[in-house]
Structure 1
């Protein structure tokens, strides 16, 4: 792969425990091809769905899923943008309510405070999508400026947009953020 002509900045890709996380490598490659320096974070259960070694080789950085210990150096540079895909029912609800009991959710809560462009892509079962708390959480995240790619009317097998579509939405969010400055 040829290096991109320009660097867009640092992108956090946060993957949760859903089947699409097994293919998150494709998202990382697409992001790198468009100039992003990618750092992958997973939820504790999401770590079981990804190939951490392959992602580490691809990004040149370790995949993080837990808070660092006080004697460990800080490792993540500040994010210029974030993609949360796939985002589970649990992560969406905890994030929207500020329950930072995992590194991934704590990081999301913190990054929101900086006004960083964030795209969230929920992937969950129909029954969970109909839960009242989930709808309220999506509304809260949107109110806080998160771009949410979720169509509740789409069949469950078609709810996850393509990685290319997710990248388009991210670039749109970043451009919008830059035009507001």
Structure 2
């Protein structure tokens, strides 16, 4: 039984090691104040053109092509709730168009850095494929801790008191610090 827990522990931890490092790094950077726009290349252009309602995406794509700017692969438009602009593209590269008060249009392109992409993956703001891997990783963390406890508590009886004390200390400190942090 212990050998099975050990094998589960070893192979799941090896498989998810790259994801664990990515989550650790992007989480530390995000907590330190670095967000998804860190290192992003953002450019804004002014388009002076009369655009009929419903033709904004077509005008945006034509503008990008005529100025030899990169056209995003995903042309499905969505409204950006923060900026109010109509946006095409994905997490790594996007282009948007928004009408200004003076009837001109602002065209904005943004290309995120590797760190920005990692933070967007961490926040589950990319395509659903990575979300499935992330859920698998979360479930794996639960299995890793359960298998680690099984290996430790059932195989290493010599330091049982210290092991139980350490678990209880971790629980108590986590609850206290968590409660103090949300108050």
TM-score (norm 1): 0.18
Higher helix share: 2
Larger radius of gyration, structure 1 or 2?
Answer: 2
Where relative contact order (Cα < 8 A, 6+ residues apart) is larger, the structure is 2
What is the TM-score of this pair, normalised by structure 2? Answer: 0.18
